[in-house]
Chain A
Amino acid sequence: MSCARIWTATLLCAWSAAALPAPAYAADLDVQVRGADGAPVRDAVVSVHLAARATPHPHAGGSYVIDQQDIQFHPFVAAVPVGASVTFMNHDPVRHHVYSFSPAKKFELKLASKQQNQSVLFDKPGIVPLGCNIHDRMIAYLDVVDTPWAKTADANGHVVLRDIPAGAITITVWHPYLRAPGNIVSRGAILSEGTAHGEKFAVPMRTPPHDPGTGY
């Protein structure tokens, strides 16, 4: 578990650095995602698009890694910008056959044991479920976003997005188990300059398939 967090942090740091510097008139967004029962929803992807304005294209220059360790993908959910190239690294002593049938990106990677150099370019926005054809229980999601402001919620279901231009925005929450069409809940908001805007989401959640690897 601690391992998963390390790798996520690495991925996010790389992405945030690419988005800098932020404009002076920006504002911060603080989003708290909870389930209908009040429990925090971790791994929810919170993204922001600007309303009535063009959302700027995200910078995809960072390096993004999805690890396979202990017959599991790490992280479970990741948000990556369009155009990002994601490297799949197999740390297991067994082979993996990573695939996705998603419309956003269809691919297959046959990874030999300890092979760490396979990369895939995600050039279309959308959800890309990742599976392993050898190990059914292995599953992970990539949310390929076309906005610079997107982030997965921490263990407390908490996300802070910074330096968003003030004005009207659309906040989108996605989670693979969210019970809604497309697993998405969206909401509009107005950001004021120089302030920290807080939003709370309470979303209906589906019972996750039993899989001890994901912690759900």
Chain B
Amino acid sequence: MRLRHLFGFRQLRTRLAVLYAGLFAVGMLCVAGLLYAVVAHNSKAQVTRELVANGTVYDRLWDQQTSQLRAAAGLLARDFGFRAAVATHDRNTIESALSNLRQRMGLSTAFIVDVNGTVTGLADPRETAQASALSTQLDEGVTAGVAPLGGQAHKIVAAPIMAPALTGWVVFATELDQHEMRGLERLSAIPLSAAVYERRANGSWVGADSATEAPDPAVSHFLEANWHQSQPADIDGPNGLSIALAKPLPAVPGAPPAVLLLQYPMRLALSPYRPLEIAIAVIGIFGLGLVVLATWRMARSITLPISLLDAAAGKLADGQVASVPVSSQDELGRLAATFNRMSADIVEREKRITHLAFSDLLTSLPNRANFNQHLDHQLRLVERRGGHVALLCMDLDNFKAINDTLGHPTGDELLRRIASRLGEELGDIFVARLGGDEFVMVKSYSGDTGTIDELARRALAAVEAPIHIGEHALESKASIGVAIAPADGNNQNTLLRSAELALYKAKEAGRGTYRFFEESMNALAQERRALEVDLRQALNNGELDLHYQPLFHLSADRVGGFEALLRWNHPKRGSIPPVEFIPVAEETGLIVQIGAWVIQEACRQAALWPDHIRVAVNVSSIQFQRPGLSHVVLQALQNSGLKPERLEIEITESIFLERSESTLQLLHTLRGLGVRIALDDFGTGYSSLSYLQSFPFDKIKIDRSFVVALRSRPGAAAIVKAIIDLADALGMETTAEGVEEQSQLAILTRQGATSIQGYLFSKPVPAPDATRLLKSKLKLRAA
């Protein structure tokens, strides 16, 4: 781990350079090591040979010197006069003869030992004693060797004195001193050092000569180990490695062993090769430098494209567009090309993802998320720089019907065409589709709102121009609500709500138009919310009540039934008209609960009335969409005991706008229970005769607009007659709503309407009043 960390180079080229330099260095070290080993081995072998040769030379020298001395001693020992002097113990003559010989031979010491150990020629008592002790060895035939004399090793050569029998020995002694060793060193071809050491009885070694220093411990150790054998070996001394040869010198028996030590330091042996070593080191360092330089350069050519790729990949990771130059045809070139392709693909995919995320799939217009971003951005710009942002909410007025009647594909196509047309007509105005038929436009501007008026008109015009889809020529209309930031809201939510409120207003105003948001709209909206809160309480608190408006049966000339109408007596605000709270109930879904209560209550009330009196209950399209309506009806009938045919469910055409199949099924189910079904507000909206064909309604209620029009528009009577005739033909009853005047009654009676409803007869009244009304047996004023 640590090692890996150590070699965890940040750069590939450093790694390569270090790797190759390392390999080269290892190679060079191997070569140098091998060379050194060979050189060292050869030098050692050479030195060893030299040492052995020198040892042999020294042997020769020793022998030569021995024989020279022996010859001289022998000469003296055989001299008749000398022998006579020795035999007659003529001390003076003997000493003068020895002195004469010492001078002639250049000897340090010469003396005589007789067979009894008597010494002549030495002055020092210690030397005399040592010389006397020699007689035993000499008597045993030893005539040469190393022996101590006066604290120093001497080479001793003796010759017997025969006079004529053995009477003693002439002994010559030479010191084994530095002088002789230097002479030996000079003889050698290599600069070796020679010294003679003596072994003490306790195993320690001393220089044989007072001038020779005591050997250092390594040498002592070597001598102790090697003094028996004349084999060259290594000494690892304080001055480095040496090769040494210990040559035992022939000692006089009993005398301490002495060795000649020839030494040659390896340092000196290797010194001739020093220039070679330096040359190799220089070549190695120079080569290493070259390798590093070459690797560095080569690595650069390899790693530069990789570094570029690395940098480009980093940029790509940061979300930037990145590409690298393709400079070669090799793997790196292909890698770079592939990288560029991948990079381009990623950018392309990002664009597509962004497009999907921020575009509406159907129309390719910006979607809600995009719109949120854009509006947010514009709002912030306005906040910083001033000016205005206009938000236009547009809604197609009749899209649902088109979708239902012509099918979704047509509806989708319509939306696409409108979207593209908006794009064409409005130029660079930001247009988004929020969903369904809901479009928004955002425009930043300064100055007055004239440009926005113009924009709204252009947008409406773009929608209104006929659109041909297949064989249909569709004429759409749209409503637009406009809200201006920052006046109508300085954040998205507020501004959007304001625009939507304005849109409601525009729709209320009759569609196909646009409205600017006004503060009052907001107040209305708040009121509406308050209403919603209160409405949730109303049912539980018994604030809801049913009023009943009689339906007068013209041919029977009596009240044939009542339409139950919901009233809300708000504890604070008093009576609230249905037109205000029913939409709220529908939006919030409260209509389901409320509607169920209405059915229950109406049935309960109707059960109290005579058998011929029916009760009509309005059922919202929301109730049809939710499950359980048939159950509610059945429950109400069972609870109240009301005969089913006395209950009349009033529906509007709007229930067919959604899920007409299931709606029809539900209608048939209700009809199966025996309940009557009436089609309310007939003739308004998208009244289609196909409805009449699809379900056999029991009654058609002619919309009040036609009844009102009877007074003013000449054609109205014809329409009413047509409806009544149509209903007759289909076996359906008719009820005319909103009859307020006798003239209307006259026409309706003449045309054959089954019943009438309206203020002319009675306004909606509470249940007790309705019951009284039945008892009073009121007649129509006209009658």
Q: A residues touching B (Cβ–Cβ < 8 Å)?
A: 99-102, 106, 129-133, 136, 138-139, 141, 176, 206-207, 209
By a CB distance below 8 angstroms, the chain A residues around B164 are 99-100, 129-132, 136, 138-139
B83 interface contact, C-beta 8 A: yes
Contact A101 B141 (CB under 8 A): no
Closest chain-A Cβ to B227's Cβ sits at a distance in Å of 31
Give the complex CA separation of A207 and B87 in angstroms: 22
Closest 4 CB pairs of A and B: A131-B164, A101-B87, A129-B165, A139-B164
Compute how far the CA of A200 lies from the CA of B166 in the bound complex, rounded to whole angstroms.
28
Q: Is the CB of B162 within 8 A of A136?
A: yes
Some 30 contacts from A to B, beta carbons below 8 A apart, are A99-B80, A99-B164, A100-B164, A101-B83, A101-B84, A101-B87, A101-B88, A106-B88, A129-B163, A129-B164, A130-B164, A131-B162, A131-B163, A131-B164, A131-B165, A132-B164, A133-B80, A136-B78, A136-B162, A136-B164, A138-B164, A139-B162, A139-B164, A139-B165, A141-B165, A176-B165, A206-B139, A207-B141, A209-B162, A209-B166
Which residue of chain B is the closest to A131 with respect to CB atoms? B164
- From residue B117, how far is it (CB to closest CB) to chain A in Å? 11
User: Chain A: which residue is nearest B88 at the CB level?
Assistant: A101
- Cα–Cα distance between A102 and B139 once the two chains are bound (Å): 20
Contact flags (1/0) for B110-143 with A, using CB distance below 8 Å?
Answer: 0000000000000000000000000000010100
B88 contacts which chain A residues (CB < 8 A)?
101, 106
**Shortest CB distance B705–A (Å):** 176
- Closest chain-A Cβ to B139's Cβ sits at a distance in Å of 8
Residues in B neighbouring A130, C-beta threshold 8 A: 164
Complex Cα distance, B141 from A206, in Å, reads: 11
Q: How far is the CB of B97 from chain A (nearest CB, A)?
A: 15
Complex-state Cα separation, A130 to B88, whole angstroms: 15
- A residues in contact with B83, CB < 8 Å: 101
Closest Cβ neighbor of A129 among chain B residues: B165
Residues on B with beta carbons closer than 8 Å to the beta carbon of A176 = 165
| Residues of chain B in range 137-164 having any CB-CB distance to chain A below 8 Å | 139, 141, 162-164
Q: Which of B78, B83, B165 has the most CB of A within 10 A?
A: B165
Q: Which residues of A contact B166 (CB under 8 A)?
A: 209
Bound: A168/B570 CA distance, A? 187
> Residues of B contacting A100 with CB < 8 Å?
164
In the complex, the chain A residue whose C-beta lies closest to that of B80 is: A133
Contacts of A101 in B (CB 8 A): 83-84, 87-88, 163
A100 to B162, CA, bound (A): 11
Seed contacts A99-B164, A101-B84, A101-B87; 4 additional CB < 8 Å A-B pairs: A101-B83, A132-B164, A207-B141, A209-B166
Counting chain B CB atoms within 10 Å of each CB, which of A101, A106, A206, A207 scores highest? A101
Q: Which residues of chain B are near A99, meaning CB under 8 Å? A: 80, 164
* Distance of A141 Cα from B166 Cα, bound (Å): 12
CA distance A209 to B164 in the complex (A): 12
Q: How many residues of B contact A (CB 8 A)?
A: 13
- Name B160's closest neighbour in chain A (CB-CB): A209
CA distance A101 to B78 in the complex (A): 14
Cβ-closest chain B residue relative to A100: B164
A37 to B445 Cα, complex, angstroms: 153
CB-CB under 8 A from A207, the residues of chain B are: 141
- Residue-by-residue, is B583-603 near A (CB-CB < 8 Å gives 1, otherwise 0)? 000000000000000000000
The interface centre, meaning the residue of B78, B80, B83, B139 with most chain A CB atoms within 10 A of its CB, is: B80
- Cβ–Cβ < 8 Å partners of A106 in chain B: 88
Q: Which of A106, A131, A132, A138 has the most CB of B within 10 A?
A: A131
Residues of B close to A133: CB separation below 8 A:
80
- The chain B residue with its CB closest to the CB of A106 is B88
A100 to B139, CA, bound (A): 22
Report the separation of the CA atoms of residues A180 and B494 in the bound assembly, to the nearest whole angstrom.
Answer: 151
| Complex CA–CA separation, A206 to B164 (angstroms) | 16
CB-nearest residue of chain A to B77? A136
**Residues of A close to B139: CB separation below 8 A:** 206
Nearest residue in B to A207 (C-beta to C-beta)? Answer: B141
- Closest B residue to A179 by beta carbon equals B139
Cβ distance B166 to chain A, nearest Cβ, rounded Å: 7
Central interface residue in B78, B88, B163, by most chain A CB within 10 Å: B163
Contacts of B141 in A (CB 8 A): 207
| Chain B residue contacts of A136, Cβ below 8 A | 78, 162, 164
CB distance from A131 to the nearest CB of B (A): 2
**Which residue of B has the minimal Cβ distance to A182?**
B116
Which A residue sits closest to B86, measured CB to CB?
A101
- List, in ascending order, chain A residues with CB within 8 A of B84's CB: 101
Q: Return chain B residues, CB-CB under 8 Å to A209.
A: 162, 166
Residue in A closest to B165 when the chains form the complex, CB atoms? A129
B676 to chain A, nearest CB (A): 172
CA distance A209 to B166 in the complex (A): 9
B593 vs chain A, min Cβ distance (A): 156
- Which residues of B69-84 are within 8 A (CB) of A? 78, 80, 83-84
In the complex, the chain B residue whose C-beta lies closest to that of A139 is B164
Task: Report the bound CA distance from A138 to B80 in whole Å.
Answer: 14
**Closest approach, in angstroms, between the C-beta of B138 and any C-beta of chain A?**
13
Q: What is the CA–CA distance of A99 and B163 in the complex, to the nearest angstrom?
A: 9
Tell me the chain B residues, 274-288 only, with Cβ under 8 Å from chain A: none
Taken together as a complex, chains A and B put the C-alpha atoms of A133 and B84 apart, in Å, by 11
Contacts of B162 in A (CB 8 A): 131, 136, 139, 209
- Complex contacts, B87 vs chain A, CB 8 Å: 101-102
Q: State in angstroms the CA–CA spacing of A132 and B80 once bound together.
A: 10
A77 to chain B, nearest CB (A): 11
Q: Mark B58-100, 1 if CB is under 8 A from A, else 0.
A: 0000000000000000000010100110011000000000000
| Shortest distance between the CB of B79 and any CB in chain A (Å) | 10
Q: Whole-angstrom distance from the CB of B703 to the nearest CB of chain A?
A: 174
Point out the residues of chain A lying under 8 angstroms from B80, CB to CB. 99, 133
A130 to B141, CA, bound (A): 23
The residue of chain B having its C-beta at the shortest distance from the C-beta of A132 within the complex is B164
Q: How far is the CB of B4 from chain A (nearest CB, A)?
A: 86
| Proximity string of chain B (4-32) to chain A, C-beta cutoff 8 Å, 1 when within and 0 when not | 00000000000000000000000000000
Mark B294-320 against chain A: 1 for CB-CB distance below 8 A, else 0.
Answer: 000000000000000000000000000
Q: Which residue of B lies closest to A181 (CB)?
A: B116
A43 CB to closest chain B CB (Å) equals: 14
**Cα distance, A102 to B163, chains bound together (Å):** 9
A132-B141 Cα distance, complex, nearest whole Å? 23
Can you name the residue of chain A whose Cβ is closest to the Cβ of B139?
Answer: A206
Contacts of A141 on B, CB cut-off 8 Å? 165
Question: In the complex, what residues of A have CB within 8 A of residue B165's CB?
Answer: 129, 131, 139, 141, 176
B408 CB, nearest partner CB in chain A, Å: 148
Q: Report B-chain residues with C-beta under 8 Å of the C-beta of A206.
A: 139
Contacts of B78 in A (CB 8 A): 136
Assembly CA distance A133 to B83 (angstroms): 10
- Closest B-chain residue to A101, C-beta based? B87
In angstroms, Cα B84 to Cα A209, docked, is: 20
Q: What's the Cα separation between A100 and B78 when bound, in Å?
A: 14
Question: How far does the alpha carbon of A138 sit from the alpha carbon of B163 in the complex, in Å?
Answer: 11
CA distance A139 to B162 in the complex (A): 10
Shortest A18–chain B CB gap in Å is 29
Cα–Cα, bound, A129→B87 (Å): 11
- Among B164, B165, B166, max chain A CB count under 10 A is at B164
CA distance A193 to B141 in the complex (A): 47
Least CB distance from A5 to B in Å reads 23
Shortest Cβ gap from B357 to chain A (Å): 129
Least CB distance from A23 to B in Å reads 37
- State the Cβ distance, A21 to closest chain B Cβ, in Å: 37
Across-interface contacts of A129 in B (CB, < 8 A): 163-165
Q: In the complex, A101 Cα to B162 Cα: how many Å? A: 11
**Cα of A176 to Cα of B162 in the assembled complex, Å:** 13
Contact mask for chain B residues 162-174; partner A; CB cutoff 8 A; 1 contact, 0 none: 1111100000000
| Residue on A nearest B162 in the bound complex, by CB | A136
CB of B629 to closest CB in A, whole Å: 158
Closest to A176 in B: B165
Q: How far is the CB of B81 from chain A (nearest CB, A)?
A: 10
Q: How far is the CB of B78 from chain A (nearest CB, A)?
A: 6
Q: Tell me the complex Cα distance, A102–B83, Å.
A: 12
